[in-house]
Amino acid sequence: MEFTLQATAPSSQARAGLITTDHGTIETPIFMPVGTLGSVKAVHQRELRDDVKAQIILGNTYHLYLRPGTEILEKAGGLHRFIGWDRPILTDSGGFQVFSLSSNRKLSEEGATFRSHIDGSKHLFTPESVVDIQRKIGSDIMMALDECPPGTADFDYARRSLRLTQRWLERGWRHFNETTPLYGYSQAFFPIVQGVVYPELRREAAKHVADLGAPGNAIGGLAVGEPVEQMYEMIEVVNEILPTDRPRYLMGVGTPANILEAIDRGVDMMDCVMPTRNGRNGMLFTAHGIMNMRNRKWADDFSPLQEDGPSYVDRVYSKAYLRHLFIADEILAMQIASIHNLAFYLWLVGEARRHILAGDFKSWKTEMVERVTRRL
Exposed/middle/buried for residue 290 (C-beta within 10 Å: 0-12, 13-18, 19+): middle
What three-state secondary structure class fits 173? Answer: helix
The answer to whether 135 touches 175, Cβ cutoff 8 Å, is no
Catalytic residue among 92, 140, 146, 268: 92
Exposed/middle/buried for residue 106 (C-beta within 10 Å: 0-12, 13-18, 19+): exposed
55: amino acid identity, one letter? Q
Q: Is 92 a catalytic residue?
A: yes
Q: Is 271 a catalytic residue?
A: yes
C-alpha 283/C-alpha 322 separation (Å) is 11
Catalytic residue among 146, 264, 268, 271: 271
What three-state secondary structure class fits 221? Answer: coil
Residue by residue, pLDDT tens for the chain (376 residues) are 999 999 999 999 999 999 999 999 999 999 999 999 999 999 999 999 999 999 999 999 999 999 999 999 999 999 999 999 999 999 999 878 877 776 778 899 999 999 998 999 999 999 999 999 999 999 999 999 999 888 899 999 999 999 999 999 999 999 999 999 999 999 999 999 999 999 999 999 999 999 999 999 999 999 888 999 999 999 999 999 999 999 999 999 999 999 999 999 999 999 999 999 999 999 999 999 999 999 999 999 999 888 765 656 567 899 999 999 999 999 999 999 999 999 999 999 999 999 999 999 999 999 999 999 999 9
Scored b (16 or more CB within 10 A) or e, 315-345 reads eebbbebbbebbeeeeeebbbbbbbbbbbbb
Give the pTM. 0.96
